[in-house]
A and B are shown apart, each in its own frame.
Chain A
């Protein structure tokens, strides 16, 4: 854990950029320098930023698939269970065997979608460390402009490649302004 001379824990070193283009170019430089724990902040999504940051494929889809399959299996269990074993009912003279399955499809479909949507929502929350009350970046007063016209890049202190001088040089090199240390709390 890196601390300032006054004993504050260091969260990151951050810089402000003039435009999306400058932020985009800076992100590519940071990506190529091999940093893993860092992020960019802007008032709106920037197309192609995922590629510039080297984020790769999101595995949210894996969670959704998992949720969908759980929903399908849950539906199959709660439908076939009672209909076959626990409490078979004669409905419209439909057979008590597998071929009643068309009647179960709507529920299977609904639960697949429902569980898939839940998985998408909660996995997305988890992947983004949400919900949270505060973020260390808010300790920097200039950062409030991120919802207006500010473009920021922060390299976290827990990144193994983080050294104060090295990161400062890199941020200066890429045209970052107001380079500063952001405290943890």
Chain B
């Protein structure tokens, strides 16, 4: 046993020097401003297309950040040890939800382009309820600075069902209701499965980027990568399970009001993208992630993590855009601008957020145990 006890670094914490990355931060800020201005133009010139493009980009980043929030509250609720060293980055990413709440404003403004049911008055309260719940969950993100582990655990227990409800109704109201005559009770879980897997992949990318920059070298070990890789594997399987469960029940029953969603996505040029998603998100990711050697090599794991994040983007694209272009894939420049605008904004805010606290929770009672984690 003593052989395994790595000497734990004295918990002083590591701090991100924002001055080192001032250039990157400025660049991201500049790109964000330019892209946001372009998006504003898009909203005026072609509001119909732009509203879908923006919702797609919003859904992509929202699922990533909401997934990070999920991992944070699960960490607290289950009293997890291994994730202590990576938790601060999860919290930072989840805190971006507050920025995303602002970036949701265009969706609200353009809602009549997106949601036909908006013309039915009852729908409005529904959206407001979802927003209120979502605000609450965004407020809970701020437990970033831990004072009492126990207190955070209590908050997490309350947050878990709230999160489930928020994400489910968010998925229903923002994405599924793009075609309000179609419904699937699995849809919330489907969005969650993609969110959890892709946010874990994002975490791998962020942690590796920080390690590349020279941080967390002695803190995050191969063992932590191994665990993160296992979660990526688990949620690749879970995503496929839920996605297929939803698909097969509808396909097999073959009831017209239910099949419309998949008929749009399985015909014309959407078919190719749907197949790419199924093959890429599961049939490629699954066997690769099965290998232990991949999970214990940070750089190889990063490649597959990047792939999964791309697949999540494709997933959101296939969920949102066919509602507009039912006759086939129709790439728009506003898709690109929306992704860049939200991505750069979040990246900019993230770089401002990271230096504020230590890169890992220094005073967490389970920090030493987390540093010594073995699989």
Using CB atoms and an 8 Å cutoff, list the residues of chain A in contact with chain B: 20-21, 24, 28, 46-48, 51-52, 57, 65, 92-93, 102-103, 105-106
Decide: B3 and A102 in contact? CB cutoff 8 A.
no
Decide: B1 and A21 in contact? CB cutoff 8 A.
yes
Decide: A106 and B248 in contact? CB cutoff 8 A.
yes
- B215 interfacial by beta-carbon distance below 8 Å: no
Using CB atoms and an 8 Å cutoff, list the residues of chain B in contact with chain A: 1-4, 244, 247-248, 251-252, 254, 290, 292, 374
Contacts of B374 in A (CB 8 A): 47-48
Decide: B248 and A51 in contact? CB cutoff 8 A.
no
Contacts of A51 in B (CB 8 A): 3-4
Known contacts A21-B1, A24-B1, A28-B3; is-contact A92 B248 (Cβ 8 Å): no
Closest 6 CB pairs of A and B: A48-B1, A102-B248, A48-B4, A102-B251, A24-B1, A92-B254
Decide: B4 and A105 in contact? CB cutoff 8 A.
no
A24 to B254, CA, bound (A): 62
Decide: B3 and A105 in contact? CB cutoff 8 A.
no
Contacts of B251 in A (CB 8 A): 102
Decide: A52 and B244 in contact? CB cutoff 8 A.
no
A sample of 8 cross-chain residue pairs with beta-carbon separation below 8 angstroms, ordered by A number, consists of A21-B2, A47-B1, A47-B4, A51-B3, A57-B292, A102-B247, A102-B252, A103-B248
Decide: A92 and B3 in contact? CB cutoff 8 A.
no
Nearest CB in chain A to that of B266: its residue:
A99
A47 to B290, CA, bound (A): 24
A52 to B340, CA, bound (A): 51
Contacts of B252 in A (CB 8 A): 92, 102-103
A76 CB → nearest B CB, Å: 15
Contacts of A20 in B (CB 8 A): 1
Contacts of B4 in A (CB 8 A): 47-48, 51
A93 to B244, CA, bound (A): 20
Decide: B1 and A105 in contact? CB cutoff 8 A.
no
Nearest CB in chain A to that of B244: its residue:
A105
A4 to B251, CA, bound (A): 73
A106 to B251, CA, bound (A): 14
Nearest CB in chain A to that of B241: its residue:
A109
A46 to B292, CA, bound (A): 23
Decide: A48 and B248 in contact? CB cutoff 8 A.
no
Decide: A48 and B247 in contact? CB cutoff 8 A.
no
Contacts of A52 in B (CB 8 A): 3
Contacts of A48 in B (CB 8 A): 1, 3-4, 374
A103 to B248, CA, bound (A): 7
Decide: B1 and A102 in contact? CB cutoff 8 A.
no
A92 to B4, CA, bound (A): 60
A106 to B248, CA, bound (A): 9
Nearest CB in chain B to that of A52: its residue:
B3
A47 to B4, CA, bound (A): 10
A26 to B170, CA, bound (A): 58
A24 to B4, CA, bound (A): 12
Q: A21-B2, A48-B3, A102-B252 are in contact. List 12 more A-B contacts (CB 8 A).
A: A20-B1, A28-B3, A47-B1, A48-B374, A51-B3, A57-B292, A65-B290, A102-B247, A102-B248, A103-B248, A103-B252, A105-B244
